[in-house]
Structure 1
Amino acid sequence: MNITQSKKGDNLISIKINVEKADYEEMVEKTLRQMRHKANVPGFRPGMVPMGMIKKMYGASAKMEALNNIVSDNLNKHIFDNKLDLLGYPLNDTELQQPTDLEKEDNIDFYFEAALRPEINVDFTNTMVDFYHIVPTDEEVDKVIEDLQQRNPNTSHPETVGEDDRLEIKIREAKNGKEVEGGYEKDGVYFNMSQIKNKTQRKKFIDKEVGSEFVVNFAKVFGSEEEAAKVLGNDAPAASDFNIIIDDAIRNEKPELNEEFFEKIFPKKDIKDLDAFKAAVKAEMEKQHEAETDPILFNKMIDELVAAVKFDLPDTFMKRWIVENSQGNITPEDVEKNYEKEYVKGLRWQLIEDSIVKANPELIIKDEEVKDFVLKQIFPGIDYASLEDDMKANLDKIAANYLKDGKQVEQLKNQLADIKMTAFLKGKMNINYTETSPADFMKKLEGDGKKKKK
């Protein structure tokens, strides 16, 4: 066995593997003995077929199998021992490889062509990306505050029923104003006053005191037996009269914009006045806009780096590699036609990204980061570090179950890698931000989309 390596061109090498008979002879003999033991040939008992016949029948295939294994193992060993940093995997060198008669030749040469990763120096100082810093308008901030008030109401329990209250009642089936012995009954029935559309029926409840007891027909109250069943339960006789007792009235009221409300929305920020609260809401909105537009900025930063970082690709080799690794799905004509448009940017960015990660190992995604990422997606806003051990153990089980799907884990790793790389590049590259409103940003985005289509 002899392996030699020579330079073939810029970032291209040729690897020659010379295999002698002594390298594979024993392996072939072992394979043939196994075949003889298993062979089922008419006229011979199992294991008694003459070796000469076995060699004639299976010699070429056994030799090919042995050569494939030896060449593959030694090619991989050569790559590992020489620390070759390759693009893809070596291909057969069609220029140097000679036709071989396996049955007649004992010493055989195998030639491979391999592409070395180019040396890449990523200099961020000369990069420049134009982008937008989205600043919400005062009207948009006020709208979000209004929404926060709606979603975080003050809850009270008034003594009398109001127009928009939620009621908790007991129901007992009744007939002629009296409860039916053994009839349908249920506690803890809830409904909103807004579900009662008929004004006459609503008046039966408005201003009633908690604890009041009276008879109603829920099919009339809610407009139909079907709507009544949604409130009472499908097993209830929705057409019947019911004696009801109002157990509770629950009223949600719009909270005042005071320190108590500020603390509820932004715990531990010690916000004292409305101006400071609006500023905090605005800052959170800006963060949200930034997170939503980061993928767009990421693509712009990739475009800038692909254009700015100069290195040569072994294009001829890469075109062959794409075709041979497509399992017949891509033809040489397809690659030739679409190479610049569909492949070059991706190849160049992959090499640049690998170079950045190699120089900055903190960008490598760790399993613990994936678990934390999953927990934040399932339980947004949770402070994992502050939880009790039992709760942490339960969350860990949920995350572990979620991460059993290997394909899903790979998608999460890619997503997390993009997030980390985006943050890294934002800290390294020169970005010229222009302030704009959310509405104007969308217009600019639509305009950019139309330009690309043209």
Structure 2
Amino acid sequence: MDVKIENIDALNAVLRVKISNEDYNGSYESSLKNYKKQVQLPGFRKGHIPTSVIKKKYGPSILAEEIDKILSQSIQKHITENEINILGNPLPKADENLTIDWKNPGDFEFEYEIGIAPEFELKLPGRDKHTFHKVKVDDKLIDKQIEDFAKRYGKLAVVDESSDKDMIMASFRELDKDDNVVEDGFNQSSTVSVEFVDDKKSKKKLIGLKSSDVLVVDPRKISKGEADMAAMLGIDKDRAAAYDRNVQLTVTEIKRLSPANLDNALFDKVFGQGEVDDLASFRNRVSDDLEKMFIGDSDRIFKKHVSETLIKKLKLDLPNEFLKKWILATNKEATKDQLEKEYDEYAKSLKWQLIENRIIKDNEIKVESDEVVAKTKELLASQYSQYGMMIPADEELSKAAQNVLSNKEESRKIFDMMYDQKVLTFLKENLKIAEKQVSYDDFVKLASQM
């Protein structure tokens, strides 16, 4: 066995593997014997088929499997022992002149293209100052949240005439291009929230309506996109996308939401019995919860800012052509056009992953098994609470966590989640940070750019 790497440049190399008859013959013969014991052929008793028959019929495929195992093991061993930081996986190098006679095997030689991760130094904290955005929780934002709570726990009452914040219960009938009712068309009972209609002319039409009133409206102008329109008219999304006519709206009932009073009954519903006893305490609790609610988004915005700054500063090069070739080879659904459109974002994500791995390695950041179990239990408990279910006793919760972690994919996700959190904590504790308070609207804009 001979494995060698020939560097083309700092990011690309060719890996050559030479396999002699001595390297594979023992395992090949052993596999033939095992196959002989298991296979069944007409005219032969199981386990008594001549080896020559097995070799003639199955030898090439068995040999190919053995060679593939040897290649995989030897390549992995060479990469690991020589600490070669590769990107993706080795790709067999196309060679039109290469022919393999599996029926008369001798020595083999294979070549693979490999992409190598760039070498770089990461000096933190560095001179850069990073901004940590926080939402300014002012009276306006607190009032808006309290208003939402009051609406959530308010009561709907039937009224005679619609206003700009009412809910109109109506039937919707399909019309033709001349606004005549299509007799076998859709006839759907649904609702329209006047408050959320953006088109001013359509909104004006919906104000002042009474039960049994009939009007012709453009359904696109009183709904929020094709999915909402499809639900309102009781048709599928494809039909909604193609629908270009008006509908007949007949009012059946009008309901108005009366917000709940700002009293102890509302306080108890929002925060629990006796947790808050007056309006001032309620406002303080709402303020505290709003600040906590935005922490996750603040962290994500901060991390994105840091990653973009470090990627730009380090100017990492990647073996781009190799990576594109590897993506197309390993993802059968990917197309060249799609890859060209999305590659820059993929490359940016890969660069951040390399930087993150360097932070983890240089600072000996570790995630221990007991931490993962505790995190999994926390996630499970959160799910139980979310669906209004009682959280199981600790022993049962631990068993459930172990069951989740027995799934390799789920376990990997939770480990990755914890490493991400620890890297974020490291960055927040070690980088030079300037906190900046911004309005809720500006914060939403920042979050939407992520």
358, 362, 373: which is aligned to 1:359? 362
Q: 1:72 matched to which residue of 2?
A: 72
| Superposed displacement of residue 314, structure 1 | 0.9
After superposition, give the CA deviation of every residue in 1:93-116 in whole Å (9 maximum; x if it has no partner): 336983322334411112222223
Structure 2 residue aligned with 1:112: 112
SS of 2:294 mapped into structure 1 = helix
Separation of aligned partners in 1, 2:293 and 2:42: 77
Cα distance in structure 1, aligned partners of 2:47 and 2:108: 31
Q: Is the 8 A contact 1:363 1:421 kept in 2?
A: no
1:133 aligns with 2:137: no
Q: How many residues align?
A: 334
Kept in 2, the 8 Å contact 1:5–1:13? The answer is yes
**Residues 139 and 344 from structure 1, CA distance in 2 versus in 1: closer, same or farther, beyond 3 angstroms?**
closer
Whole-angstrom distance in 2 between the partners of 1:140 and 1:40: 76
Aligned mates of 2:346, 2:316 — CA distance in 1? 15
**Larger-Rg structure:** 1
Shift in Å, 1:297: 2.8
Q: Contact between 2:133 and 2:301, CA under 8 Å: does it hold in 1?
A: no
- How far apart are the structure 1 equivalents of 2:38 and 2:411? 44
Name the counterpart of 1:320.
325
Distance 1:47 1:374, change over 3 A: closer
Where does the alignment leave 5 or more consecutive residues of structure 2 unmatched?
Answer: 150-154, 156-261, 266-273, 386-390
1:345 matched residue in structure 2: 348
Q: Which amino acid aligns with 2:394?
A: L
Q: Distance in 2 between matches of 1:32 and 1:294?
A: 58
Amino acid at match of 1:350: Q
Cα contact 1:19–1:108 (8 A) shared by 2: yes
Residue 408 of structure 1 and its aligned partner are, at CA, apart by 4.9
Amino acid at match of 1:137: D
Match of 1:56? 56
Q: How far did 1:31 drift?
A: 2.8
Instruction: State the distance in 2 between where 1:143 and 1:333 align.
Output: 46
Alpha carbons of structure 1 residues 253 and 107: separation in structure 2 relative to 1, 3 Å: closer
Match of 1:425 among 415, 427, 431: 427
8 Å contact 1:357–1:364 — kept in the other structure? no
Counterpart Cα distance in 2 of 1:356 and 1:96 = 43
Residue 83 to residue 417, structure 1, CA distance change in 2 (3 Å) = closer
**Matches of 1:42 and 1:136 in 2, distance apart?**
81
The residue number in structure 2 matching 1:240 is none
Superposed, 1:2-81 pairs within 5 Å as 2-81=2-81
TM-score of the superposition, structure 2-length normalised? 0.59
Which AA in structure 1 matches 2:300?
Answer: P
1:33-432 residue pairs with structure 2 within 5 A? 33-94=33-94, 98-123=98-123, 124-130=125-131, 132-138=133-139, 140=141, 254=264, 285-326=290-331, 328-335=332-339, 337-362=340-365, 364=367, 366-371=371-376, 373-374=378-379, 377=382, 394-402=393-401, 404-405=403-404, 406=407, 408-432=410-434
Cα shift at 1:50: 4.2
The one-letter amino acid paired with 1:347 is L
Output the TM-score relative to the length of structure 1. Answer: 0.58
Match of 1:435 in 2: 437
- State the SS of the aligned residue for 2:403: coil
Structure 1 residues 47 and 285: CA distance shift in structure 2, 3 A: closer
CA distance in 2, matches of 1:285, 1:34: 66
C-alpha deviation, 1:9, in angstroms? 1.8
SS at match of 1:121: coil
1:312-335 CA distances to partner (integer Å, 9 max, x unpaired)? 111122112212222x22244543
Secondary structure of the equivalent of 1:90?
strand
The separation in 1 between residues aligned to 2:54 and 2:442, in whole angstroms, is 79
Question: Which residue matches 2:172?
Answer: none
Work out whether residues 13 and 113 of structure 1, in 8 Å CA contact, stay in contact via their aligned partners in 2: yes
- Using the TM superposition, give the Cα deviation of residue 445 of structure 1 relative to its aligned residue in structure 2, in angstroms: 4.1
Shift of residue 127 of structure 1?
A: 4.0
- Deviation track 1:190-224 (CA, whole Å, cap 9, x = no partner) reads xxxx9xxxxxxxxxxxxxxxxxxxxxxxxxxxxxx
Q: Distance in 1 between matches of 2:141 and 2:70?
A: 69
Letter in 2 for 1:306: I
In 2: Cα distance, 1:24 partner to 1:94 partner: 23
Q: Provide the rounded CA distance (Å) in 2 between the counterparts of 1:126 and 1:105.
A: 62
The alpha-carbon deviation at position 377 of structure 1 amounts to 3.5
Equivalent residues of 1:97, 1:111 under 8 A apart: no
Q: Deviations over 1:346-395 (max 9, x none)?
A: 21111111111112333536424524643773699xxxxxxxxxxx9932
Provide the rounded CA distance (Å) in 1 between the counterparts of 2:264 and 2:285: 20
